[in-house]
Amino acid sequence: AAGVIQSPRHLIKEKRETATLKCYPIPRHDTVYWYQQGPGQDPQFLISFYEKMQSDKGSIPDRFSAQQFSDYHSELNMSSLELGDSALYFCASTRTGGFEAFFGQGTRLTVV
C-alpha cells in the first residue's frame, strides 16, 4: 500500500540558508500535518492543511511557511535557518472526519 512520502530524507544546510521539505500524502487523503521533533523531544505540531487550505497552526516560526498544492502534496519552506532548526521533520496525512493518520519517514535536517 502507498505510504506518505517525504523528501529529501536527509538535508544539510548552513546557517541563514533556506530549505524546502516536500510531502506526498497517501492517495485520497485530504489533510496534511507537519511536525518538528528535536532530539529527545516529542513531535511538535507546526501546521496542517485541509483541502489545500491552512487548517490549523501550532508552534511554527515566522521564518517557516507551508502550503498544500492542487495535487495535495505539501511543502514546508524554511528560511534564515538557525542551528536550533536542526531536527527531524515529519509529515502525516489522513482523511478528515475521524480517520487514522499515517506518518512519513521524516526528513532529518542538520543546520551547520
Distance CA 72, CA 83 (A): 30
**Nearer to another protein among residue 81 and residue 104 (C-beta):** 104
Nearest CA to 37 out of 107, 78, 87 is that of: 87
Q: Is 68 in the site for another protein (CB under 8 A)?
A: no
- Give whole-number Cα distances, 80 to 29, 77, 101, 105, in Å: 31, 10, 31, 25
Question: Which positions from 38 to 67 touch another protein by CB under 8 A, shown as an x/- string?
Answer: ----xxxx--xxx----xx-x---------
Distance CA 54, CA 49 (A): 4
Please pick, from the candidates 8, 82, 99, 110, the single residue that binds another protein as defined by CB under 8 A: 99
List contacts with another protein (CB under 8 A).
31, 33, 35, 37, 42-45, 48-50, 55-56, 58, 88, 90, 92, 94, 96, 98-103, 105-106, 108
